[in-house]
Amino acid sequence: MDATEGLIATEKFGSQETWRYQVKSGGLKRERVGEDRERPSSSITAAFKSVFLPQGYPESVSEDYLHYQLWDTLQAFSSSLSGTLATQASLRGIGVGNQQATVAAATVTWILKDGTGMLGRILFAWMKGSKLDSEAKKWRLFADILNDIAMFMEILAPHFPPFFTLIVCVAGIFKSIVGVAGGATRAALTVHQARRNNMADISAKDGSQETLVNLAGLLVSLVLIPLVTNNPMLTFLLFFLFTALHLFANYKAVRSVVMETLNEARLSILLHQFLHNRQILSPAQANQREPVFLEFKQNVPVRLGVCLGDVIKNPQELQLALKNNTKDYLIGIQNGSVCVCLGADASVHDEIMAYSQAVCISTVLHTPPPRDGELKHLYEIKDSWELVSESHKLIDRIFQSFITGLERAKWETDRTLLNWNEWRVEWRKKRN
Instruction: Render pLDDT for 375-421 as a digit per residue (tens, 0 to 9).
Output: 989 999 999 999 999 999 999 999 999 999 999 999 999 999 999 99
Q: Give 11-28 pLDDT, tens digit per residue.
A: 877 666 778 888 887 778
Q: Return the ∠ at Cα 71 (arms to 58 and 235), rounded to 5°.
A: 155
Residue 29: strand pairing partners: 22
Instruction: Note the pLDDT of residue 373.
Output: 81
* The domain defined by 65-257 carries CATH number 1.20.1250: yes
Cα distance from N-terminal residue to C-terminal residue, the chain: 85
pLDDT for the residue numbered 139: 95
Question: Quick check: helix, strand or coil at residue 108?
Answer: helix
For the cut 70, the answer to whether the pLDDT of residue 73 exceeds it is yes
Q: Are the beta carbons of 249 and 75 closer than 8 angstroms?
A: yes
CATH 1.20.1250 residue ranges of the chain are 65-257
When pLDDT is cut at 50, 70 and 90, the band that residue 105 belongs to is low
Res. 1 pLDDT band, cuts 50 70 90: very low
Q: Contact, 327 vs 353, CB < 8 A?
A: yes
115-130: per-residue pLDDT in tens? 898 999 999 999 998 8
Residue 310 pairs with which residues in a beta bridge? none
Neighbouring residues of 193: CB distance < 8 A, sequence distance ≥ 6: 61, 62, 64, 65, 68, 202
- 306 vs 44: which has the higher pLDDT: 306
Give the three-class secondary structure for 231. coil
3-state secondary structure (DSSP) of residue 345: coil
How far is Cα of residue 93 from the mean position of the Cα atoms in its chain? 35
The answer to whether 391 touches 361, Cβ cutoff 8 Å, is: yes
Among 297, 412, 393, CA closest to 351: 412
Helices 199-228 & 65-93, crossing angle to 10 degrees?
40
Query: Is the pLDDT at 431 greater than 60, yes or no?
Result: no
Q: Higher-confidence residue: 430 or 300? A: 300
> Which of these, 123, 85, 113, lies nearest to 172 by C-alpha position?
113
Report which DSSP code applies to 343: B
Identity (one letter) of the amino acid at 300? V
Supply the pLDDT for residue 35.
59
User: Sorting pLDDT into bands at 50, 70 and 90, what band is 200?
Assistant: very high
pTM of the model: 0.86
Q: Please give the Cα distance from 206 to 200 (Å, whole number).
A: 10
Average pLDDT on 16-42 reads 71
| Mean pLDDT in residue range 343-350 | 93
Cβ count near 109 (within 10 Å): 19
pLDDT in tens, 243-287: 999 999 999 999 999 999 999 999 999 999 999 989 999 999 999
Beta pairing class for 6-13 and 17-24: antiparallel
With pLDDT > 90 as the criterion, what percentage of the chain qualifies? 60
What does the mean pLDDT of the chain come to?
A: 88
Residue 338: its pLDDT value, please? 96
